[in-house]
Amino acid sequence: GYFDAHLPISTPLPVDVSWHRADILVHAKGHPPIRTSVEVYVPPPEADLLVISDIDDTVMFTGVAEKLKMLYRLFVRKPHRRTAFPGVASLYQALYRGQTEKAERPILYVSRGPWAIYEMLEAFFQINRIPVGPILFLREWGISWRKPWPRRAEDHKRDLIDRM
């Protein structure tokens, strides 16, 4: 599962790392509480730029114009069999490092793809040496036997970018 939360930070965090572990306790009505740990990304104070990028046909070839082939590529093809666009890894690494070569600029990725492909995307980024963003903004498709195609959400990416 996944969730979205905005929490105040009450104690200063170490500035030498950007990923922090948080222990959470989730209470859902009618279900027993769940205790787990999550990784939380906090950009370093010296970050001078926030990079926001699409994934589909920007970082990774999906062929969104051909719907059936796109669905095959999306759900069947393994991360090591997917195609990154030429030069994407070096471009995104340069954006991540900045001019000083030591910066750690946050890179956020937006997609209209389903949450079910999160782990595949993470593996694809690692295999292709593309900096893994702290957040991969995906969405629920709402697919069912009665409605086999994802519901339209033209403003999904714009809403996510505005929130950042």
Is residue 90 very low, low, confident or very high in pLDDT (cuts 50, 70, 90)? very high
- Give the DSSP H/E element, type plus range, for residue 19: strand 19-26
pLDDT given at position 54: 86
65 alpha-carbon distance from chain centroid? 22
Domain that holds residue 63: 46-163
Domain assignment present for 10: no
d(CA 124, CA 95): 19
Query: Residue 159 above 90 pLDDT?
Result: no
d(CA 157, CA 28): 28
Q: What is the pTM of this model?
A: 0.72
Q: pLDDT tens, 110-140? A: 877 777 778 888 899 999 999 877 566 665 5
Query: Residue 34 above 60 pLDDT?
Result: yes
Pairing of strands 19-26, 34-41: antiparallel
Higher-confidence position of 4 and 83: 83
Q: Are 114 and 104 in contact (CB under 8 A)?
A: no
CATH number at residue 112: 3.40.50.1000
d(CA 116, CA 59): 18
- 129 Cβ contact list (under 8 Å, min separation 6): 89, 93
Domain assignment present for 1: no
Domain assignment present for 21: no
Domain assignment present for 91: yes
Residue 22's closest CA among 32, 8, 112? 8
Mean pLDDT for the stretch of residues 86-104: 88
Domain assignment present for 15: no
Residue 23's closest CA among 5, 4, 40? 40
Encode 145-155: b = buried (16+ Cβ within 10 Å), e = exposed.
Answer: eeeeebeeeee
Domain assignment present for 27: no
Query: Residue 149 above 80 pLDDT?
Result: no
Q: Are 138 and 114 in contact (CB under 8 A)?
A: yes
Query: Residue 92 above 90 pLDDT?
Result: yes
pLDDT given at position 46: 82
Domain assignment present for 125: yes
Average pLDDT, the chain: 79
Domain assignment present for 26: no
Q: Which of 2-11, 13-22, 29-38, 65-74 has the highest mean pLDDT?
A: 29-38
How many domains, the chain? 1
CB atoms within 10 A of CB 8: 4
